[in-house]
Amino acid sequence: MRITKAEFIAAAYKPAQYPAGALPEVILVGRSNVGKSSLINAIVGVKGLAKTSSVPGKTQTINFYRINDGFYLVDLPGFGYANVPKRVKKSWEAMVAAYVNERANLRGAVVILDPRRDPGDVEEGVYRWLLGECIPRATVLTKSDKLSRNEMHSRLAAIKKAIPDPGPIAFSSVTGEGKIALLRRIQEMLEGGGGAGINSDI
Ligand SMILES: Nc1nc2c(ncn2[C@@H]2O[C@H](COP(=O)(O)OP(=O)(O)OP(=O)(O)O)[C@@H](O)[C@H]2O)c(=O)[nH]1
Ligand SMILES: [Mg+2]
């Protein structure tokens, strides 16, 4: 898949603010500051389309990016950010729960992990939910540029054992590593999880 058009469409707190229509959606799920918004910018090739920050907790709404007029990438607020007040954390959780429980457009999830840390309880819960709901998934180990090749290799092997995903993709928003593999997986999700037609454009 080649991305030729990427537009920010909506920042939503509640379902009434989600884009209308039936275009399929792929969500980005991961810890705060792991690099979800940077990944969107990297795969669409537009710096600054999704706002990023070195301070965790940047993305506080559900942000919809329409790609090639054919599907949405949906940037969810990150979890695991310890420094937000309980009240705010609860409202983020409710916001994400409203999306994942009700959104019929959801076709797939990209789970983003930092290869330098082991997946925790929350990630385990995310995979359990994806498996239970039969939602196609891809795992990305981002910030690969921060590890040596050897380190990345051994972390990939360790993380593979800890998650129900046989093919995590090594990725870097800085070098572009893994971009093509991830776009191919996203296209497979949009086509229903199968491998057919992966070279056709959307
Ligand atoms: N070296 C390196 N830094 C990265 C990479 N991806 C993201 N970063 C940096 O990590 C920080 C967080 O990136 P974001 O994309 O804002 O993270 P996020 O997951 O959207 O964070 P929240 O919106 O807070 O949930 C920023 O300082 C980015 O520049 C990467 O692949 N390599
Ligand atoms: Mg973000």
Ligand nearest to the CA of 81: 1
* 163 found inside a domain: yes
Measure 112 CA to ligand 2 centroid, in angstroms: 12
* 143 found inside a domain: yes
DSSP annotation of 14 reads S
The three-state secondary structure class of 199 is coil
Which atom of ligand 1 is the closest one to the Cα of 54? Answer: 27
Look at residue 1 in the predicted model and tell me its pLDDT.
86
* 198 found inside a domain: no
Q: Flag whether the pTM goes above 0.85.
A: yes
Q: Is the CB of 52 under 6 A from ligand 1?
A: yes
Nearest-CA residue for ligand 1 atom 10 is 35
* 195 found inside a domain: no
Task: Tell me the C-alpha distance between 188 and 180, whole Å.
Answer: 12
Look at residue 102 in the predicted model and tell me its pLDDT.
86
Give me the CATH number covering residue 55.
3.40.50.300
Q: Is the CB of 58 under 6 A from ligand 1?
A: yes
Q: Is the CB of 35 under 6 A from ligand 1?
A: yes
Please answer whether residues 182 and 138 qualify as being in contact, where contact means their C-beta atoms are separated by less than 8 angstroms: yes
Rg (CA), the chain: 16
Measure 112 CA to ligand 1 centroid, in angstroms: 11
pLDDT in tens, 8-55: 999 998 899 999 999 999 999 998 899 999 999 999 999 899 988 888
Ligand nearest to the CA of 30: 1
Question: Which residue range is the domain that position 17 belongs to?
Answer: 6-190
Q: How many structural domains are present in the chain?
A: 1
Look at residue 196 in the predicted model and tell me its pLDDT.
38
Residue 152 has pLDDT above 70, yes or no: yes
Look at residue 5 in the predicted model and tell me its pLDDT.
94
| Higher local confidence (pLDDT), 195 or 170 | 170
pLDDT in tens, 58-110: 778 899 999 999 999 999 988 777 667 777 777 777 888 899 888 999 999 99
* 199 found inside a domain: no
Is residue 193 very low, low, confident or very high in pLDDT (cuts 50, 70, 90)?
Answer: low
Nearest of 116, 117, 120, 115 to residue 139 by alpha carbon:
115
* 33 found inside a domain: yes
Look at residue 82 in the predicted model and tell me its pLDDT.
65
